[in-house]
Structure 1
Amino acid sequence: MKRFAFSLRLKLLIFSAFLLAIPYLSYQYVWQLESYLRVGQEQTLVGTARAVATALHERPALFDKQSAFLADIRPGTDLYAHKIQYPIKLDGDLSDWQDYQANMLAYGATNLVEQSAVYQTNSLSFKHMLGQYDTFLYAMFDVTDDSVVMRPQSSLRVDRNDYLQLAMLNASGRFERYIISPYASGWVNAYKLDVDTETINPIALETRIQGQWENTETGYQLELRFPTSMLSSKIAFALGDVDDPNTRQVKYVMGTANPTQSDSLGTVLVPSPEIERIVKGLKYSGARVWVVDKHMRVLARSGDIQDAQGIGLNANNVGQSDIGGSASDSAQIWDYLEQRILLPLYYKILTKPPTDFIDDLADAFALEGRDIAEALDGTPSTLWRLSSDDKAVILSAAHPIYIDEQVMGAVVVEQTTHGIRSLRNQALEKQFHFILAVIVIATLGLFLFASRISNRIRKLRDETEAAIDINGKIVGTMKPTNTRDEIGDLSRSFNQVLSKLSQYNQYLENMASRLSHELRTPVAVVNSSLDNLSLSDSQEDKDEYIGRAKQGIKRLSSILNSMSEATRLEQAISHNEAEEFDLVKLLTGCVKGYAMTYPEGNIQLNVQLDEALLKGSPEMFAQMLDKVVTNAVEFMNSGTPINIRLFKKASKFALSVTNSGPLLPENMNKQLLNSMISVRKSTTAEQAHLGLGLYVANMIAQYHGGHLTIENLPDHSGVIVLFELD
């Protein structure tokens, strides 16, 4: 099975995938920044709530008429006048109240004030709501009554039929009662009753209380309107039910409270216009502000949560390109690319703030929440919550309102996180634009870079394969590159290796002829001696032929010894333990020996150092010197000296051997240090020269931490061999 090969380009492309970590990190950074912005928004909202509460501290008149001083409230008895958005048309049709159905209260058996018969649900029940618009209070009653009995046209009494009784404390605190007792469906006004609560005697028509009574199949519907200036904060409504048109006996009286007793009246909370005037200007603050009493009932509010985004942004700039000029083709192309491709892609991850969401508190008359409860306990608090449709995140901050060091209410300020989310999206859009450009450019650059590298490597591979044939023979050369990088170094190294292999191949190719040349003479000597020995009868001749054969065999042995010398030397180096010796003493002893070995040579020693310590093997170093000196003796001109000089070069010492004589052939100075390279024109029958002397000498020099060089003298009078430490 063929394994899949990962090319260099593919590997770099895979590696460039790590660039995708950049948008992830940016995304996390912006999310972290959003959390800091939320903390800042939270602190700002608490500051706004504190500022509004400061304007309301120690102002009891703002709360006195709003029943905020009550210890407790009675549901269904203590009423709330809901803020309505438009005036109610008094036509007996309750369609105007449809938007406020959730605020209607249902009354039944638990709300009976009087009864003369066992209560039956279908006999009497009703829904009721109070609303406030401008300076008027509106009241609606949706009554279920199995038998509606109207007031007779000729009757002066107002309590022998179905009726509505209304009781209140007026603006000066005086107890007053009113009754609505119509003859038929239609427009109605109220009658003011006598202060004697034991009777129901009308004394005057009250035209300020207006309304419409309309009978229905299930009972009747009643709408009323009267000015808020008629009452202070106490009120009660009660419906009288008469079912028998003959006896006209009141069967039930059901209402919000007993209208005949002033101390049993319920309270009515009308949103405070004074507090609303104080907080009215805050509708421009980008927040919704509530003021609640200590029973969490709304006293005033300002602003709309749909517009309370916290951070104001220009909606025209959100998600739009920063590139201007609609007439520019490039701008149009960028705008198309951004709006049709990039932003839809981004918003697979990002979330846009909703343009609309469900506001459960749009018509709320009472609030609840941990933040408000803590504020009413005297501790400013904040609360994060989701809208009921989970589209919006709403932050609320509550701060207590103090009167005489007592908490009488709280200011609640609300904002959504739409502004922060829009700001986050803007930041991420710009970040993603920049990061996408960086990733595209970096990936393209890496791809081009990888392509160039792979092309250079393939070219190097092709050149290498072309330089060597299928049999391993070097048939070409490589052109080294001048590029100063690793591939350039590899190319130059390949060129050097190929050059050395070429030389080695040439050496191998020439070795057969060289060995044949060196072995032919001793073999011929041995062969001719054996032939003559077999034909000769003279003992003297036989001894001569045997002597010649021994000389030939000796020469063959010398050739084999020379060939194995390098191998033996390598083994000796690997097992040798280095020691420190003085090169000055070694040279002095060697030169004395050379004087006896080469009496015809004039070997001179010039030492410019008192001591030259070297770590290695003195025997091997002497062997190296023997090879070099022997070579110099063989090539020197007769009567000329051989100079051995030890001197200091830079911070180290060097050793040179100089002789006058024939110069080195051109370009052979480096090759002479290789194995089996020789420039001798002829070889004597007694001594074989395989070109191993300088090769062995250089091997010993390298063992001692140096190297040999062989050059022609500058004046072309001879040759110098130089040993230098690396």
Structure 2
Amino acid sequence: MKLRYQLAALSLTFLAIPWAGCEFLKSNEKTLSLLQEQSLKATGEAIAHGLYNDKTLLYPEPMRANAPFNDRSLQLKRLLSGPILDGYFGDWPEGAWRRFGTERRPLDLRLGKHGEQLFIAAKIADDSKTYDTTTPGTEPSGDRLVLVTWLGNQRQRYVISTAAPGKVVARLLGRQLASAHSNAIAGHWADTSAGYQLELTLPLALSGERLGIYYLDADEGGVSVRGNIAPLDTEAPPWLVHSTAGIDQWISRYQNQGIGVQILDRWGWPLATALEIERPPQATTFWLTPWLYRQILGTPPPSSAKKTTATGQITSPAIATAQRGLETQETVATPGGIKTRSTTPIKSSEGLIGIIVTESTRNQYLSVSTPAFEALLVGGTGALILCFVAVFIFAIVLGKRISRLSKATQNLGLTDTTLPLDRFNDELTQLTKAFNMQLHQQQQLQAYLKALPQSLAHEIRTPLAIIRSAMALLADGEQSLHEQQQIMARAESGVDRLTQLLNTMNEANQLEQIMEHEPLTTTDMTALIEELAAAYNVTFPKCTFAVLADETAVVTQISPDLIVQALDKLIANAISFAQPGTTIALKLSHRGLWWRLTVINLGPPLPNDTDRLFAPMVSLRDRDQKTEGSLGLGLYIVSLVARHHSGEPWAHNLEDGTGVEVGFSGLLV
């Protein structure tokens, strides 16, 4: 792995700084959320306990606490003021309509309560309008709306019909109780393009906490009915669901507080609601801070939101759990922000009688509401940037030092003989010193090997001449004993000089031992050969050096120094025999598992016997072709380098006889 990638990987460890900060924030957030959950739970349990002691706060009619579920019950919304009865609904607050009937012929109802008065808004779709043409005291014959209440455990029916749009008053159908005052039910009947619109009002006490509404549509085909009850029903009408004055007073203590409270009956119909006051979040110096904080802490998984059914009930998994008598706490993401919600059942000896839902936004508990998070954000970011800058500067300095050493290694043997040292005196400096020591030893060895052929030629001729002359003189046999002793002494001196020469050759053999311990490194040989060719063009201006390489770079494990040394020997051999002005080619190729490095030069051909060219101190050139340092120990070094790379050397004449090619191969690793 390259150094830049190693430093990049090292820089990743600095991410532990923001990670530790995030873990702290998460732990702090978890603790604060737990405290908020406990607070909401305690509030819900306190409200549930208070309502358990007085069930009339939930149910004005105690029988409704144990009555079975009736999906045709009607919900009353609290009105801030009584609407004007004009048949139009512009003064009604926004809200959903309760639909009965079919999509083509619906009856849409909205019910409200102001004080002790009940208000009804009705939209009736009717294509064939038929107004009432009967006289008072008789059964109406046109389109009409019927209200059914429950007084004295009896059904009381009131009919609202009219001969024309305008004000209307209810008429009693059937037997009338003393408390059933039909004239207390009044309103306005309006005509629309789609049908009718009615606004009615009656005392809430007149309903008996129950109310049935149905519309009789009289047309040529007969009479059709739509509503929450049928004309022939004999049982009590459905319940009215609404809050009481007592529960309104109870819930008012939580208005504009830090939490929201909602009281539901046992079936999920809302009875009273205290909205949470919307506290603006604390101002931050940076608008992105809250978003960053939420990203760090993570958004809670989507929770099933509370839904309002067509009947007006509020449902959710938490409410369903509370209806089974179990408390729940959850964190939900809402359009108003992250909220913590607690759902508590109201239990009695007879079972579940209601549900308390308490919730609160987490803004008042979040660390983002204080400068603490911004301080941590700024400090952590600054520390992280400082660490990255420090590593970046270190990488630049280290890269320059390595580049300096790399350039110095390219100039070794050309202008410099040692690698430059710096003032840091660290491991890299110590490594450079070790390289300089090895370079010095290598330079000494190379100098020795370069001088060895000339020394051997000179040293071998002289002792051999001495020994030969001594043997010739001794063969004559005419010398005296003293002269013979002198001749023998000269011969022994020649033998001593040869012995010394052999010892010198043994020292040259140490090069092979050095190669046995030379490590292999992954190197781009193509780039290496191109760099050497450029250097040779500068070093040997009498010839031109060209690189012949495959399109694919040859990257393998080699000993670059030994490759350079062997190539230097091949180039020196080619220079000594090449004609000035010609081109010397450096050819690098790879086939299968092997790479091949060849030096091609124009010049006299090699003798036929080339097998011994790579033996030490051997040259098969003709005498007139021999030059100092020709094929001898230099090619022997090439053979050593080839064997070190699991390859072999070779030397061939070109097919056209104009030159030679000498090189070696190696294993592609």
Asked if TM exceeds 0.5, the reply is yes
Of 127, 131, 141, 1:149 maps to 131
**Identity score, percent:** 22
Match of 2:314 among 352, 362, 367: 367
Q: Counterparts of 1:173 and 1:193 in 2: how far apart (Å)?
A: 17
Query: How far apart, in 1, do the equivalents of 2:452 and 2:239 lie?
Result: 126
Residues 322-341 of structure 1 correspond to what in structure 2 (within 5 A)?
A: none
| Residue 544 to residue 188, structure 1, CA distance change in 2 (3 Å) | closer
Taking a change above 3 Å as real, the CA distance of residues 490 and 343 of structure 1, as seen in their structure-2 partners, is farther
Structure 2 counterpart of 1:212, one-letter code: H
SS for the counterpart of 1:157 is: coil
Deviation (angstroms), 1:233:
1.4
Deviation of 1:385 after TM superposition, in Å, equals 6.7
Q: 1:431 to 1:363 in 2, by over 3 A?
A: farther
User: Do the aligned residues in 2 keep the contact of 1:169 with 1:235 (CA within 8 Å)?
Assistant: yes
* SS across alignment from 1:447: helix
Alignment partner of 1:61 is 2:33: no
State how far apart, in whole Å, the 2-side matches of 1:424 and 1:189 are.
59
**Alignment deviations for residues 516-550 of structure 1 (CA, whole Å, 9 cap, x no partner):** 99999977975775676688845546634543344
Q: How many residues are treated as equivalent by the alignment?
A: 505
8 A contact 2:214–2:230 mirrored in 1: yes
Q: CA deviation at 1:489?
A: 0.8
Call closer, same or farther: CA 1:509–1:86 in 2, change over 3 Å: same
Instruction: For 1:217 and 1:169, locate their aligned partners in 2 and report how far apart those are by CA, in whole Å.
Output: 34
**Structure 1 residues 81-100: aligned runs within 5 Å:** 81-84=76-79, 87-94=82-89, 99-100=94-95
Who is 2:424 aligned against?
A: 483
How much is the aligned-residue C-alpha RMSD, in angstroms? 5.5
User: In the alignment, residue 48 of structure 1 is paired with which amino acid?
Assistant: T
CA distance in 2, matches of 1:202, 1:186: 27
Secondary structure of 2:167 counterpart: strand
Residue 494 to residue 223, structure 1, CA distance change in 2 (3 Å): same
Instruction: Report 1:638-677 matches (<5 A).
Output: none
| Structure-2 change in CA distance of 1:222 and 1:405 (3 Å) | closer
Amino acid at match of 2:281: N
Confirm or deny that 1:454 pairs with 2:395.
no
Partner of 1:380: 327
Residue in 2 aligned with 1:75?
71
Q: Match for residue 694 of structure 1?
A: none
Q: Cα–Cα, structure 1 residues 406 and 228, in superposed 2: closer, same or farther, change >3 Å?
A: same
Supply the distance in 2 between the matched residues of 1:269 and 1:287 (Cα, whole angstroms): 25
Query: How far does the alpha carbon of each residue in 1:188-219 deviate from its partner, in whole angstroms, 9 at most, with x for none?
Result: 3446788547xxx999783x543111234554
1:187 equivalent among 167, 185, 200: 167
For the residue of structure 2 that corresponds to 1:234, the secondary structure is coil
Deviations 1:70-105 (A, max 9, x none): 4214333x32213346643311124556943x4323
Partners of 2:437 and 2:444 lie apart in 1 by 10
- 1:104 maps to which of 98, 103, 107: 98
In 1, Cα distance between equivalents of 2:449 and 2:108: 119
CA contact (8 A) 2:76 2:111 kept: yes
Q: Which amino acid aligns with 1:226?
A: L
| Alignment TM-score, normalising by the size of structure 1 | 0.54
Alpha-carbon distance in structure 2 between the residues aligned to 1:168 and 1:554 = 144
Answer yes or no: is 1:291 the counterpart of 2:284.
no
Aligned mates of 2:180, 2:78 — CA distance in 1: 33
Aligned to 2:579: none
Deviation at 1:369, TM superposition (A): 3.4
Which blocks of at least 5 consecutive residues in structure 2 are unaligned?
Answer: 511-669
Residues 339-361 of structure 1: CA deviation (Å, up to 9, x unaligned):
6xx999999999999xxx99854
Per-residue deviation, 1:48 = 3.0
Moved more, 56-65 or 425-434: 425-434
Supply the AA of the counterpart residue of 2:65.
F
Preserved contact between residue 290 and residue 301 of structure 1 (Cα < 8 Å): yes
Contact 1:481 1:491 in 2 (8 A): no
Structure 2 Cα separation of the partners of residues 531 and 253 of structure 1: 153
SS at match of 1:68: helix
The structure-2 alpha-carbon separation of the partners of 1:484 and 1:133, relative to structure 1 and needing over 3 Å to count, comes to farther
Question: 1:210 pairs with 177, 186, 203, which one?
Answer: 186
Q: CA contact under 8 A between 1:60 and 1:403: conserved in structure 2?
A: no
Change (3 A) 1:550 1:213: closer
Q: Could you say which residue in structure 2 is the equivalent of 1:633?
A: none
**CA–CA separation in structure 1 for the residues paired with 2:227 and 2:453:** 133
* Residue 314, structure 1, aligned to residue 286, structure 2: no
| Partner Cα separation in structure 1 for residue 353 and residue 179 of structure 2 | 40
Map 1:188-587; keep pairs closer than 5 Å.
188-190=168-170, 195-196=175-176, 206=183, 208-217=184-193, 219-237=195-213, 256=228, 264-303=236-275, 314-317=281-284, 320-321=285-286, 360-361=307-308, 365-382=312-329, 396-404=341-349, 406-415=351-360, 423=368, 436-463=381-408, 466=411, 468-469=413-414, 476=417, 480-500=421-441, 537-540=478-481, 543-553=484-494, 555-556=496-497, 559=500
Larger Rg: 1
Q: Distance in 2 between matches of 1:233 and 1:204?
A: 16
Structure 1 residues 487 and 255, CA gap change in structure 2 (3 angstroms): closer
- The one-letter code of the counterpart of 1:458 is S
- Give the letter for the 2:50 counterpart: A
The verdict on how the C-alpha distance between 1:437 and 1:151 changes in structure 2, with shifts beyond 3 A counting, is same
Contact 1:52-1:279 at 8 Å conserved across structures: no
> CA 1:522/1:44 → structure 2, altered by over 3 Å: closer, same or farther?
same
Change (3 A) 1:381 1:495: closer
Match of 1:50 among 40, 45, 48: 45
Cα distance, 1:402–1:58 mapped onto 2, change above 3 Å: farther
CA distance in 2, matches of 1:453, 1:399: 65
Task: Write out per-residue CA displacement over residues 628-657 of structure 1, whole angstroms, 9 at most, x where no aligned residue.
Answer: xxxxxxxxxxxxxxxxxxxxxxxxxxxxxx
Shift of 1:296: 2.4
Cα contact 1:243–1:251 (8 A) shared by 2: yes
User: SS of the residue aligned with 2:58?
Assistant: helix
- Give the Cα separation in 2 of the matches to 1:210 and 1:277: 30
CA distance in 2, matches of 1:11, 1:161: 95
Structure 1 residues 545 and 445: CA distance shift in structure 2, 3 A: same
Superposition TM-score, scaled by structure 2 size: 0.58
Give the secondary structure class of the aligned counterpart of 2:83.
Answer: coil
